[in-house]
Amino acid sequence: MQKAQENRDVLAGAWADQEEYVSRVIRLNEEAYTRTGVHPKALVHSFGCQQNVSDGEKLKGMLVQMGYQPTDELDEADVVLYNTCAVRENAEDRVYGLLGQLKHNKEKKPSMIIGLCGCMVQQEHVADRIRRSYRHVDLVFGTHVMHTLPRLLWEAATSGHMVVDITDSENGIVEGLPVVRGEGAKAWVPVMYGCDNFCTYCVVPYVRGRERSRESAQVVQEVRELVAQGYKEVMLLGQNVNSYGKGLAEEIDFSGLLEKVNGIEGDFRIRFMTSHPKDASKRLFETMARCEKVCKHLHLPVQCGSNRILERMNRRYSVEEYLRLIDDARSAMPGISFSSDIIVGFPGETYEDFSATLALIRQVRYDSLYTFIYSPRRGTKAAQMEDPISREEKGIWFRELLGVQEEIGAQRLASYVGRTLRVLVEGYEKTGEGLLTGRSEENAVVCFPGDASLIGQFVQVRARGVRRGALVGEIAPQQSGSSV
């Protein structure tokens, strides 16, 4: 416990230590502006999960602090940073494809700095491949040294060679990094980093290191500031939020953190992800039920409905235990909605195992599912297991799963018709029909006619029907047009 405390102390000044390099890069950018009359621009693109998107907001924050203007246009970018994901092979393939294309941009504009960071490049074999075959890349850095971007960028800009830092450190959390958040009224707030679970298919524990939690005071302070700035929804993030608090000097678990965040004054709501079923408990559900700001929606990844496969996945719960959790959550919160992650075609999975997954889905009746075909990841246990089922066969199972869920999802959505839902309005729908769109507390997409002034506000919407995977409705009569 003492050690964790020391580690955090060590990293407390980690961002301040970058000050000298921030100043140096600012000077470089000022010189460039004097020369060209154009402000240097930086593009950050994050792949993968919300944790990565949240890291991307900090990367943008650091770049803005160093004098770059954010851009989404590759052609005008002076720095391009791909914040990569390693969870599945196709995410990695996309990055290699984009890197190939970037070669032409670099030829046209040799001063462009191309950087890669995040989970994918934290893997030694990936960093080696970049070193060998993608020489137009200037900067490669992993998940543990993200806060040293100013120094790394300075070195990349001035050294004339590829700068690589994939140092793996087990410690610490760096507080105080600047953040440039995405548009809208929702904000990501990481509460813990890393994962100690070592599910046999998953590369995350290898690339993001051991679990470590932020002090609750830091989380509360951040949420308080967000609420004061007008944010209406905070998503508390972690690979496994239910193990929040381990290693902290203070005596706290995730339920305790939820209580504290719920106690912050203001009109906002709280979501969180991801919960591991092995650590979810009645205590968590009772806390969720009691905390009026916590959305009554639970993302509880089951991955598979066969005990044999769950064991091979090292998930450390059985189907029966999982179903008991669902029952407990429903008893504590009768209207709760669920979503889940499913992996199809884990090594050794048979059609019988897969059928058990279908049966579980039919029993739980999730509102939505995130479904993946198993992707072997180098260095994981599952990558060593026999995997006799062909990709084609897995594709057939996968489509069957989608079909089953489509029906359940539609029925779940229809069950909201007639109800009045509290919707956080996100903007206008892409279809061009002029409807506003947002999400209910249960995480259902709800569309309705309304005025642009409602964007970013909570609105009570009466659901009238279902159309293309979303509820359609109208503002509930009692408040006619005003936000709540």
Chain residues binding ligand SF4 by CB under 6 A are 195, 197-199, 202, 204-205, 239-240, 276
CA distance 100 to 6: 43
* C-beta closer to ligand 5AD: residue 256 or 376: 376
Q: Identity (one letter) of the amino acid at 24?
A: R
Which one of ligand SF4, ligand 5AD, none is in contact with 239 (Cβ closer than 5 to 8 A by kind)?
ligand SF4
Residue 85 interacts with ligand 5AD (CB under 6 A): yes or no: no
C-beta separation of 237 from 191 below 8 A: yes
Helix (H) or strand (E) holding 342: strand 337-344
Nearest approach, Cβ of residue 131 and ligand SF4 (Å): 27
C-beta separation of 301 from 274 below 8 A: yes
- E strand spans, 162-257: 163-165, 186-190, 192-193, 212-213, 233-237
Q: How many residues does the chain have?
A: 484
Residue 314 interacts with ligand 5AD (CB under 6 A): yes or no: no
Structure tokens at 371: 């479904």
C-beta separation of 40 from 27 below 8 A: no
CA dihedral 257, 263, 268, 271 (to 10 degrees): 20
Which one of ligand 5AD, ligand SF4, none is in contact with 374 (Cβ closer than 5 to 8 A by kind)?
ligand 5AD
* C-beta closer to ligand SF4: residue 147 or 276: 276
CA distance 474 to 205: 45
Longest dimension (CA), the chain: 68
Which one of ligand 5AD, ligand SF4, none is in contact with 276 (Cβ closer than 5 to 8 A by kind)?
ligand SF4
Which one of ligand 5AD, ligand SF4, none is in contact with 347 (Cβ closer than 5 to 8 A by kind)?
none
Nearest approach, Cβ of residue 371 and ligand 5AD (Å): 8
Which one of ligand SF4, ligand 5AD, none is in contact with 164 (Cβ closer than 5 to 8 A by kind)?
none
* C-beta closer to ligand 5AD: residue 24 or 381: 381
246-273 residues labelled b (16+ CB within 10 A) or e (exposed): bbbeeebbbbbbbebbbebeeebbbbbb
* C-beta closer to ligand 5AD: residue 151 or 299: 299
Per-residue mark of binding to ligand 5AD, 44-83 (x: CB under 6 A)? ----------------------------------------
Nearest approach, Cβ of residue 230 and ligand 5AD (Å): 30
Nearest approach, Cβ of residue 344 and ligand 5AD (Å): 8
CA distance 460 to 209: 42
Interface positions with ligand 5AD (CB under 6 A): 87-88, 201-202, 301, 303, 341, 343, 372, 374-375, 377
